Structure 1
Amino acid sequence: MSFFEVAATVGEVYYRISKKSKTLGFPAGLCTSLGIGGHITGGPYASMMRKFGLGVNNVINARIFNTNGIILDKKSIGEDLFWVI
């Protein structure tokens, strides 16, 4: 999975990561039914937080779409605007 859809839940993200790697993880929270989009933007409190920081600190890219329906990523919107989202 190259990016997380807003509709994905924390549980689905954990599941996808576990299918790809037995050694990697993601510092998301404990409520697996919560949507990942809201979870990440809220800076989730999680069990891996002490070692890896908040989930929001670990986001390396995002795909969003503007009002014209154009899909944008970190490269197309620029680093400054990426950190705003």
Structure 2
Amino acid sequence: MTKNYFEPVFVWVGPGTRQGISDVARASELLMTNWPKDSMATPAHIAAKTICLASWEEQSSAEGARAAFLQAAREAGILTDE
């Protein structure tokens, strides 16, 4: 995969609506604009935003961004079956 892409992480983005996130741009956008309100500003959410943005700027790996996004999604309860 190219530098800003990773193996998809499937999350719930609405009632019955599942979305595959497979790049740092989409992960960053979801973390900043459509994240569950009660899970914003948690340590996992902040770390995922920070790492995804660093990956976008090529200061971190896409796999590191995926791992952080996966952890934040799991904590927020929006991760679909793995």
TM over 0.5: no
Q: TM-score with structure 1 length normalisation?
A: 0.32
Question: Which structure has greater strand proportion?
Answer: 2
Question: Which structure has greater helix proportion?
Answer: 2
**Does 1 or 2 have the higher relative contact order (CA < 8 Å, sep 6+)?**
2
Q: TM-score with structure 2 length normalisation?
A: 0.33
Larger of the two Rg values belongs to structure:
1
